Amino acid sequence: MAATDVVRPGAPPARERAYEELEQLFAGVDAPFALVDLDAMWSNARELLGRAAGRPIRVASKSVRCRSLLAAILETPGFHGLMTFTLQESLWLHGHGFDDLLLAYPTADRTALAELARIETERPPILMVDSVDHLDYIQAAAGAAGRPIRVCLELDTGWWPFGGRLKVGAKRSPLRTPGQAQALAHEIVSRPGFELAALMGYEAHIAGVGDRPLDRRLQGHLIRLMKRRSAAELAERRAAVVDAVRQVAPVPIVNGGGTGSVHTTRREAVITEVTAGSGFFAPLLFDRYADFSLTPAAMFAMPVVRRPSGGVATLLGGGYPASGGAGRDRLPAPYLPRGLRLDPQEGGGEVQTPVIGAAAASLRIGDRVYLRHAKAGELCERFKALYLVRGGEIVDEVPTYRGEGRTEL
Ligand SMILES: Cc1ncc(COP(=O)(O)O)c(C=O)c1O
């Protein structure tokens, strides 16, 4: 899967595929199956690189969950290093030769911490910390490691307007101010078992919130306003935090952003790299951003197994809701053929998913419906393999994390 011709700057965005085209390609394959359209994925990669405008992009492994795709992406100039999501996963990837790993979420896995302390390597995965408790926990579990354990300090990016009466943002780190960050930095450097290697702040309420909600113009306007205000406040605070922390240690990595904010986060001078993952697969939630558009790349096909009535075709399984505040936007959606939607009573089901709409009447038993997941990598927890499509052919079939026997989160 050579990445060379993949990200030709200036190439036009990939087009969306037609139902007939996919049906022809997959005529000999029985559903359920999942696929990634490489033309769309590389087109999305180009889009991300364009918005990053030269800032290196760290790839969020949770949003891809397929080792061979991650490796191919990392061969492409502009992408470097992985943002991982569990320590077991990080160690596994490290064992497979991935060596620039930033674990973005604190770990309480004592077994994996003990293993981390034992591995012989120049660049072990970096662990996330936001408190002295984290340091104590790591120290107790890892014991006396041969070399310092590298840690990343996480900054809270939330927006707290009206004197803090409103708090917008994910509940992640307690560290907000330069003083708080500097105090923890002092604590880290005072402990011989640790090295302060990075600083991260993920603005989930900017990067992960679509600002073009369907049929809700006013809400979209308010979200965009919130994002602008919050980004301005964060830029100032993050610069002050980095400055305060660098008075203690020369922290080389300052990571921020996600697919939805690559183009704004990268403008901050202190940012050394941005993160993106979902943008490669372009799941449903990423259809609803005002500033950029991606091409759907990952989808799954389910067979029609019943026709309960003229206007309904019932698919096998398909109820793969995405994580997050439960709402309709977390459900998968029929994609191809066009003109289908979920039945509002049943949604996506464990064993069956009825679809309705204009195209339902012409579907027959054994026909396939292609659906898109609301989020990116979670799809890979449902399938052992991904068919890779390029041009007019299926070029490969590669295992997902799950296909390699891994169940992360
Ligand atoms: C720490 C962190 N950084 C970046 C991201 C952005 O990932 P993506 O580009 O897949 O939205 C996430 C997503 O949840 C995250 O948790």
User: Is 202 touching ligand 1 by the criterion CB < 6 Å?
Assistant: yes
CA distance linking residue 377 with residue 383, whole number of Å: 11
User: Is 61 touching ligand 1 by the criterion CB < 6 Å?
Assistant: no
Burial of 389 (0-12, 13-18, 19+ CB in 10 A): buried
Rg (CA), the chain: 22
CA distance linking residue 10 with residue 4, whole number of Å: 14
pLDDT at 88: 98
pLDDT at 216: 80
Query: Which residue has the CA at smallest separation from atom 12 of ligand 1?
Result: 258
What is the whole-number distance in angstroms between the Cα of residue 277 and the centre of ligand 1?
7
Q: Ligand 1, residue 257: give the atom nearest the CA.
A: 4
* Ligand 1 mutation pick, 63, 127, 271, max ligand atoms within 8 A of CB: 63
* Ligand 1 mutation pick, 51, 83, 105, 286, max ligand atoms within 8 A of CB: 83
What is the whole-number distance in angstroms between the Cα of residue 181 and the centre of ligand 1?
21
User: Is 60 touching ligand 1 by the criterion CB < 6 Å?
Assistant: yes
Helices (H) and strands (E) in the chain, counts: 11, 17
pLDDT at 6: 61
CA distance linking residue 205 with residue 167, whole number of Å: 11
pLDDT at 218: 85
What is the whole-number distance in angstroms between the Cα of residue 311 and the centre of ligand 1?
39
What's the Cα-to-Cα distance from 150 to each of 118, 123, 142, 186, 291, rounded to whole Å? 14, 9, 12, 14, 36
Q: Residue 70 is inside which H or E element, if any? A: helix 67-74
CA distance linking residue 266 with residue 280, whole number of Å: 18
Q: Which regions of the chain are under pLDDT 50?
A: 2-4
Long-range contacts of 234-238 (CB under 8 A, 24+ apart): 234/157, 234/159, 234/201, 234/203, 234/206, 235/267, 235/268, 237/176, 237/177, 237/178, 238/155, 238/157, 238/201, 238/268, 238/270, 238/271
What is the CB neighbour count within 10 angstroms for residue 251? 18
pLDDT at 4: 44
User: Is 245 touching ligand 1 by the criterion CB < 6 Å?
Assistant: no
CA distance linking residue 152 with residue 196, whole number of Å: 6
Q: What are the structure tokens assigned to 317, written together?
A: 């399984």
CA distance linking residue 127 with residue 84, whole number of Å: 10
Specify the DSSP class assigned to residue 271.
-
Q: What are the structure tokens assigned to 142, written together?
A: 């890892």
Nearest to 272 by CA among 52, 49, 44: 52
Q: What are the structure tokens assigned to 2, written together?
A: 């050579």
Q: What are the structure tokens assigned to 244, written together?
A: 């305060």
User: Is 281 touching ligand 1 by the criterion CB < 6 Å?
Assistant: no
